[in-house]
Amino acid sequence: YSEDLSLFAFLLSYISTFAIFLFPIKTETMIAIQFLSFVSLMQLFDYIFWTNTGLSKTNYYTTKMAMIVNHLQPIILVLLIYNYKQYVHKNTLLLVSAYAIFATLYSYAAWRKITYTIEKYKDKGLYWEWNYLKGSTIMYTLFTITLLVAIYENFESLLKYVLLVLFIITLLVAMY
């Protein structure tokens, strides 16, 4: 967890994405790459937080933007699926609808409360304040279930299992 690691992860993601787009790829791969690129924006935000650790305006406004980008992830995945496949399975649609309503309410309340992103503990990562507010357990349970169901229902290739495993590993690392 550091400035250098955050920048490296962000750049690696975007350079890899660009390189992959130079070759013909399948629809599901296109969806996955674009989604993972969106998710990796969080690494760019982390880099900004690491380089603006004080109580600056940059940190304050970036914290609010990062929360919105973080909360949009399940919605972006479903929109990408629909954009490329022209359908979304029923359970995914119901879950993302419920998630969108709850995430809007949670984000509105959080917007007014969150201030800065700071280092959690020495060398232990950043403290994303929006993850620890009232209602966060419901919010992030719905976030997780929505992503898992969207992947499981709407991907048909081996990529489905790769994404599920990747998401679960990422979740476990984030909880650490």
Q: What is the DSSP string of 18-59?
A: HHHTTS---HHHHHHHHHHHHHTHHHHHHHHHHH--SS-HHH
pLDDT for 121? 63
Instruction: For 54-105, write each residue's pLDDT tens digit.
Output: 889 999 999 999 999 999 999 999 999 999 999 999 999 999 999 999 999 9
For the chain, helix (H) and strand (E) counts, in that order, are 7, 2
Task: Per residue of the chain (176 residues), give pLDDT as tens.
Answer: 678 888 888 998 888 888 887 788 899 999 999 999 999 999 999 999 989 888 899 999 999 999 999 999 999 999 999 999 999 999 999 999 999 999 999 999 999 999 999 887 666 678 889 999 999 999 999 999 999 999 999 999 899 999 999 999 988 887 76
pTM of the model: 0.91
Contact 114, 108 (CB under 8 A): no
Find all residues with CB under 8 Å of 5, minimum gap 6, and list them.
Answer: none
pLDDT for 21? 77
| Residue 113 to residue 130: CA distance in whole angstroms | 8
In the 8-state DSSP scheme, what is residue 129? Answer: G
Question: Percentage of the chain surpassing pLDDT 70?
Answer: 96
Helix, strand, or coil (residue 117): coil
Phi, psi of 123 (to 5 degrees): 60, 25
